[in-house]
Structure 1
Amino acid sequence: MKNRTSSRTRSREYLITDRPISAICAFSLPIMLGNLFQQFYTIADSVILGRFVSENALAAVGASGALTHVFICIAIGGGTGSAVLVGRWFGAREYGRMRLTVSTILLSFLNLSLFLSVVGFFLHRSLLELLRTPPELLPMAASYLQIYFLGLPFLFLYNVLSALFHALGRSRIPLYLLLFSSLLNITLDLTLVCGFHLGVAGAAWATLFSQGFSVLLSFLLFLQVLRSCTRDVVGPLPLFSPGEFQEICKVALPSIFQQSTVSIGTLLTQSVINPFGAQVLAGYSAASRVESLCIVPLSALGTAMSSYTAQNLGAALSAPGSVSRSGQPEPDPDSLDRAKKRVRQGYHASLRLTAGIAVLLCLFLEFFAPFLIRCFLGSEGTSAALSTGVGYLRFLGFFFALLGLKLCTDGILRGAADMGSFTLANLVNLTFRVAFAALTAPRLGPAYVWYAIPLGWLLNFLISWRAYRLGKWTPSSAP
């Protein structure tokens, strides 16, 4: 019995024990596939609306998409950041504290999502007007967004639960759930939009129902996983801890900010794109959907580096060492050195994977960008929409390597809880991108919105890489 238990423990701790490149690939591949299926929520909406309703319907979902992306990134950032602590306690085998952290995370994000849901439900139209949404698109965009806000708690809880699965090394479970919910979403989209002719409202209801059902399954499965990891914890624990909440905020808030730099930048640049009209907005929306798919494998590598770093450092910090003069236990220096070396090996492996993925993405977009944009626009798509989307994708295809460098380096800083350098790098990225687009695009054309993107990625990477090279992210004491 003891041998079976030990074998299960080692299989769950493969991020600590396996070869770095093997561990990162094993962890990130299910995340890549899962995130691809998650993107099908919005992509299915866009394709079905663009081909079976109208180009304006596609543009309307794109106009509201900048807002919806903000909340998706808050959920992903909060879940990923919070999961760093869960991964740390899991690696250190402090399962009681891990369980308390998990329950605090779930209650915190449930309350946050309910608050944002109520605020968004009543202010959605004002937000669209603030973004200068074209008047002809406003009614459809408002209808989609209002229903979307009703399902916001489902979105939050699902993304947080997925991050917690990943922190425990169970990245395949979210993949299976996403496959199911994506197929359900597409089926409901076709039924409500094409069968019942509900337009953008039908697409929004399809997303709400599929996410809600997926959250229920995800929560039930997560309870089983959590029980198996904490079966040796003795005695009841509170559901919420103010002390754990403070620790969660220290890591989760900068992670939310990092994710939000993308979404806030998209939100603000959306207000720059909107005045160019519905045709340009439709092409920009279609290209943004394709871009979100291209980013998935690079984002998965960044998430893998975050959990990989957290678990390896957590295991090293829990190794028995000496006792300080104050009587406090200190980690074993040799264990810390091995963990730091292993993190660096994982970083180099992730960069090699990034280079290969970036080359494939560049070639794919160069040859298939027109076909991809036509998939969204249909046969009646305008030339302005097509040229906008194709120009966006072909330009950005040359710079995905920069994004991968940024995400993998950010992943190490986040996994090591070096949130100061992490926050600074992403703040510079956001500020530059928004300022550049706002100053140049109104006078020189919409293409300057996406010209700013790789420059922001480069600045972010240089700041994060400097922090990595200086080694300030490496801990010197137990958590």
Structure 2
Amino acid sequence: MKSHSLLEGSIVKGLLWFAIPLFFSNLFQTLYNTVDTILVGHFLGDASLAAMGATTAIFELIVGFATGAGAGFGIVAGHYFGAKDEAGLKKSIASSLVLSALISVVLTITAYALMPALLHVLNTPADIFAQSLTYIRIIVLFMTITVFYNLSAGMLRAVGDSLAPLAFLFLSCLINIGLDILFITRFHMGVAGAAWATIIAQFLSTLVSLGYIGLKKRILIPARHSFVYDKALVQDLGGQGLSMGFMMSIVSMGTVILQAAINNLGTTLIAAHTAARKCGSIVMMPIASVSAASSTFVAQNKGAVQYERIVEGVRISNRLGIGIALACALFVMPLNQPIIHWISGSTDPVVLQNGGTYLLVNTPFCTVLAVLLNMRNALQGLGKKIVPLVSSVIELVGKFLFSFLLIPVFGYMAVIWSEPLIWVAMTIQLLWAYSRVPEIQALKKENRTDFVYDE
């Protein structure tokens, strides 16, 4: 197997080598929607920006499931790669393709049919309802593209290649920006133009990714005999992929509930929250990239039965994540309102003040989020399926309580404080769960948790 491995050598260098391309991949992925937000806000106004923002939670719910499932399938593939089992790797990919096709069909039909009712449940304001429905229905109609892109990217990363998906996304991001400008400013297609630009760019990214696998990563192409029903493998893939998909969906369901409460606060606050969330998602990207690298690192080393290396890798990932979070907070906090203006194009003081306050409160708590994401990804890499789901349920319950008990009383300030406080509770649960992993406990009992791999 010629792909890059995280099984030996410097842990810091290995994690950074893997995380930096992941960061830029996430950056370009986020730019799809951020560029949409900037152009819609500047050229179409606050109402159209709010129309997109009102669907953000639904978009994250659907895409989150696809992303989680692809990452889960990739973790199983990473176990086989770490164990140097090429036949098992190809079988896992074959089964992943079949499961991804089924997921695509179910997601597309269900989401498209239920979308009008869901927007009503979310209390989408009447003056932006039509625009919101148009935008999100175009997105969900082509969910197959999103599912298979995430699957191909997940498999490449499972064998240590995080650079190729970066190159594909960079090209597609440029295309997306060009199409955004063309569809919104020249063809005057409104929010539908932003949706079509995103879909076309993702489609091209998927084609290039699959072509690269066919030419350069043939280890990821299953043979005909790999398409056999293996009950244990399907259960492993289903358990890991669906658990991560549902975990991401549960997280997004909490965001959907929160979005419904925000939608009751009016169009202006929806616009403020949309702009603040876009900035927040960019801040989270380098943190999430380190944690995603940690997931692949742990998965490969679990396959190779190198638990001492896993412990040290998790420790280093936490330190890297916290350091990055502090640096981001120091940059964002002094520029909170200018950032909101740059993203939204709005000069409304209500938009600027509320969006700026969101950034002032949330960005310092990204240090907690860094540990949360690292621990959750490490547990997933270890093959733990239930613990991350419990973490997501904590988030869902927390957002439910904020939405129905606190936001009606305290307004947008309760929205601002909801996620930081929930992150603290989730992090405590995940740290406890990690400390209870039998292999980790055994190492601690033997006093074998102080390792240095970076000489």
Count of residues in Structure 1 that have an aligned counterpart in Structure 2: 442
Once residues 220 and 103 of structure 2 are traced to their aligned partners in structure 1, the CA distance between those partners, rounded to angstroms, is: 27
Task: Find the counterpart in structure 1 of residue 266 from structure 2.
Answer: 277
Q: How does 1:398-409 map to 2 (within 5 A)?
A: 398-409=364-375
2:15 to 24, 33, 43: 24
Aligned to 2:125, the other structure's residue is in SS state: coil
Task: Find the counterpart in structure 1 of residue 358 from structure 2.
Answer: 392
Task: Find the counterpart in structure 2 of residue 455 from structure 1.
Answer: 421
Change (3 A) 1:473 1:40: farther
Once residues 135 and 96 of structure 1 are traced to their aligned partners in structure 2, the CA distance between those partners, rounded to angstroms, is: 55
2:403 to 437, 448, 473: 437
Deviation at 1:363, TM superposition (A): 1.0
Q: How does 1:41-440 map to 2 (within 5 A)?
A: 41-228=32-219, 236-238=225-227, 241-316=230-305, 339-378=306-345, 380-440=346-406
Change (3 A) 1:128 1:313: same
Once residues 226 and 176 of structure 1 are traced to their aligned partners in structure 2, the CA distance between those partners, rounded to angstroms, is: 15
Deviation at 1:271, TM superposition (A): 0.3
Deviations 1:175-234 (A, max 9, x none): 00110111110100000000011110111111111111111111121233442467xx99
383-392 vs 174-183, which moves further: 383-392
Instruction: Answer whether contact 2:257 2:403 (CA < 8 A) is retained.
Output: no
Deviations 1:323-368 (A, max 9, x none): xxxxxxxxxxxxxxxx111111111111111121111111112112
Instruction: Answer whether contact 1:416 1:473 (CA < 8 A) is retained.
Output: no
Deviations 1:151-182 (A, max 9, x none): 21111111121111110101001100110111
Once residues 153 and 219 of structure 1 are traced to their aligned partners in structure 2, the CA distance between those partners, rounded to angstroms, is: 14
Deviation at 1:240, TM superposition (A): 5.6
Task: Find the counterpart in structure 2 of residue 327 from structure 1.
Answer: none
1:466 aligns with 2:432: yes
Seq. identity, %:
28
* Length-normalised TM-score, structure 1: 0.88
Change (3 A) 1:206 1:473: farther
239-248 vs 66-75, which moves further: 239-248
Deviation at 1:262, TM superposition (A): 3.0
Once residues 449 and 472 of structure 1 are traced to their aligned partners in structure 2, the CA distance between those partners, rounded to angstroms, is: 38
Instruction: Answer whether contact 2:28 2:173 (CA < 8 A) is retained.
Output: yes
Aligned to 2:91, the other structure's residue is in SS state: helix
Task: Find the counterpart in structure 1 of residue 4 from structure 2.
Answer: 12
205-214 vs 103-112, which moves further: 103-112
450-459 vs 174-183, which moves further: 450-459
**What stretches of structure 2 of length at least 5 have no aligned partner?**
443-455
Change (3 A) 1:261 1:301: farther
Once residues 20 and 182 of structure 1 are traced to their aligned partners in structure 2, the CA distance between those partners, rounded to angstroms, is: 31
Deviations 1:256-278 (A, max 9, x none): 23322431121110000001110
Change (3 A) 1:162 1:235: closer
Once residues 34 and 229 of structure 2 are traced to their aligned partners in structure 1, the CA distance between those partners, rounded to angstroms, is: 37
Once residues 191 and 93 of structure 1 are traced to their aligned partners in structure 2, the CA distance between those partners, rounded to angstroms, is: 48
Change (3 A) 1:468 1:117: same
Change (3 A) 1:382 1:118: same
Aligned to 1:133, the other structure's residue is in SS state: coil
Aligned to 1:18, the other structure's residue is in SS state: coil
Deviation at 1:436, TM superposition (A): 2.4
Instruction: Answer whether contact 2:275 2:343 (CA < 8 A) is retained.
Output: yes
Instruction: Answer whether contact 1:425 1:464 (CA < 8 A) is retained.
Output: yes
Aligned to 2:287, the other structure's residue is in SS state: helix
Q: Which amino acid aligns with 2:259?
A: Q
Aligned to 2:34, the other structure's residue is in SS state: helix
* Structure with larger Rg: 1
**What stretches of structure 1 of length at least 5 have no aligned partner?**
1-7, 317-338
Aligned to 1:111, the other structure's residue is in SS state: helix
Once residues 33 and 50 of structure 1 are traced to their aligned partners in structure 2, the CA distance between those partners, rounded to angstroms, is: 24
Aligned to 1:276, the other structure's residue is in SS state: coil
Instruction: Answer whether contact 1:433 1:455 (CA < 8 A) is retained.
Output: no
Change (3 A) 1:132 1:56: same
Aligned to 1:417, the other structure's residue is in SS state: coil
Instruction: Answer whether contact 1:83 1:164 (CA < 8 A) is retained.
Output: yes
* Length-normalised TM-score, structure 2: 0.93
Once residues 38 and 103 of structure 1 are traced to their aligned partners in structure 2, the CA distance between those partners, rounded to angstroms, is: 26
Aligned to 1:312, the other structure's residue is in SS state: helix
Deviation at 1:390, TM superposition (A): 0.8
1:40 to 24, 31, 39: 31
Deviation at 1:429, TM superposition (A): 2.5
145-154 vs 110-119, which moves further: 110-119
Once residues 229 and 209 of structure 2 are traced to their aligned partners in structure 1, the CA distance between those partners, rounded to angstroms, is: 21
Once residues 260 and 395 of structure 2 are traced to their aligned partners in structure 1, the CA distance between those partners, rounded to angstroms, is: 18
